[in-house]
Amino acid sequence: MRVRPRQFVRQLYKHWEIIEHLSRLSRELAVFEVSQVLKLVAQYSAAEADAAQILRELHEADIL
């Protein structure tokens, strides 16, 4: 799959706090469960539906 640079950079900008937190956690954990990532994303989003959408966006941008 080809990474689209503009979309990649946009998602980094839009969700920097989440990505930064996941980066720090990745030093301790090699693999994340979906529930762990959703829980973390939910901390930074207003609603659970938003958390699922953010997770989808990060996945589609090949960040996760």
Give me the tens of pLDDT residue by residue for the chain, a chain 64 residues long: 566 788 888 888 988 999 999 999 999 988 888 888 888 898 888 776 688 888 888 888 888 8
Enclosing domain of residue 35: 5-60
The burial of 46, by beta-carbon neighbours within 10 Å (0-12 exposed, 13-18 middle, 19 or more buried), is given as exposed
CA–CA gap between residue 4 and residue 32 (Å, rounded):
24
Domain count, the chain: 1
Between CA 14 and CA 11 the distance in angstroms is: 5
pLDDT of residue 1: 58
Q: What is the value of pTM for the model shown?
A: 0.76
